[in-house]
Amino acid sequence: LAGSQTGFTQLIGQERVAKMLAAAVANQATSHAYLFTGPDGTGKMEAARELAAALCCAEGGCGRCDSCVKARRGTHPDIETVSPAGAFITVDQIRELNRSINLFPGEGRARVIIVTDAAALGAESANAFLKTLEEPPEFVSFIIMARRADLVLPTIVSRCQEVRFGPVPPAVIEEHLVGEYDESATMARTYAAISGGNLALAESFCRDAELRLRRKRYMEIAQDLTRGGSGPHLLAAEVMDMAGKAEEAEAAAADEVPEGFGGASSGRKRRDAHRRATAARKRELDRFLGTLQSWFRDMTACAAGAREAVINMDYALELEQEALESRVAEYRRAAEAVAAARRQLGYNIDLELALLALFHRLQEVL
């Protein structure tokens, strides 16, 4: 089998991984359990889909047959994807998986289980999953993903072959955005820089006008806060409102299960929907705080005379006008305060209160 037949060569900025997986498929030496580790948006899911396609296709991933087409679309009946319902993969989800695992492949040569975030397995679900992972049927392969291996139960890690995905280099993202999305050089470089190696996020900036509008407003809020702010309460309420809208859009895109769907399970579905909503809101708040942090980092760079270090290049003019040489330390402290607030998002906190506390802190600092 020629390596070029598989879609691994289309993985962007992951040449080493692509070569390794293509060789394993070509030599029929794939592992029964892979652990794909690396930051978000670095192509783990795309690689998992391609590998699953290669395992299910009679020709090792021809890319043309019905099986390959379905695998790439994510609609192949023998490829099952297990994703967190909100913050966690529940033990119910794993029990359902364990029940179906012994079914023979319906169409292809294999059944592939893709677990999109192994760090979301709680202790109980992880142990239930481990049983299946230890003694899977011959025809089952696992592709498990996580940001880092140390976030996953060691007994799971030890049963997998780890494949590491690095952040996509900014220059590679930049080139991709210019080539595929026809972005200007400045915007391509800006999106590459602010997405920090997350190719999927950088692409979202090109595709999603709403995302661009939110970033614009977040940058305005950052400038507003730098000048003393137009009232922490108003700003916190506005940011929460925007996060709520982003969450609604995400839910609509995910085509949520309608309410009142069956008796016993409807409570669970509602809880799952609630968890998903909270997770989506936290993701958007993280984007807001990330934007804010990058603004103050850029202000620090500008004030220190290091303009070449600015990542929000489309705001170069505003940054230069705003940044005062004498206030480098203040800007740095502001960036640190935002970073601290961002770390808190991982905990179970009142999000609006946390924002409010941050805005008050920024008033003190600046």
Where on the chain is the footprint of Zn ion (CB under 5 A)?
Answer: 57, 62, 65, 68
In whole angstroms, how close is the CB of 75 to Zn ion at the nearest point? 14
Token pair for 348: 């179970």
Token pair for 50: 């391609």
In whole angstroms, how close is the CB of 5 to Zn ion at the nearest point? 9
- For Zn ion, which is the closer residue by CB, 79 or 356? 79
Edge-first strand listing for the sheet containing 79-82: 79-82, 111-115, 140-146, 33-37, 161-164
- For Zn ion, which is the closer residue by CB, 9 or 100? 9
In whole angstroms, how close is the CB of 59 to Zn ion at the nearest point? 5
Token pair for 67: 């099986």
In whole angstroms, how close is the CB of 27 to Zn ion at the nearest point? 18
- For Zn ion, which is the closer residue by CB, 7 or 86? 7
Q: Which residue is nearest to Zn ion (CB)?
A: 57
- Is the backbone of residue 41 left (phi > 0), alpha (psi -120 to 50) or beta? left
Contact criterion met (CB below 8 Å) for 11 and 163: no
- For Zn ion, which is the closer residue by CB, 7 or 167? 7
What does DSSP assign to residue 321? H
**What is the Cα–Cα distance from 271 to 60, expressed in whole angstroms?**
40
- For Zn ion, which is the closer residue by CB, 65 or 339? 65
Tell me the C-alpha to C-alpha distance, in Å, between residue 70 and each of 39, 107, 353.
Answer: 26, 11, 45
- Contacts with 239 (C-beta within 8 Å, 6 or more apart), sequence order: 221, 285, 288, 355
**What is the Cα–Cα distance from 232 to 238, expressed in whole angstroms?**
10
In whole angstroms, how close is the CB of 24 to Zn ion at the nearest point? 17
Residue pointed to by tokens 């203040």:
330
- For Zn ion, which is the closer residue by CB, 1 or 62? 62
In whole angstroms, how close is the CB of 114 to Zn ion at the nearest point? 18
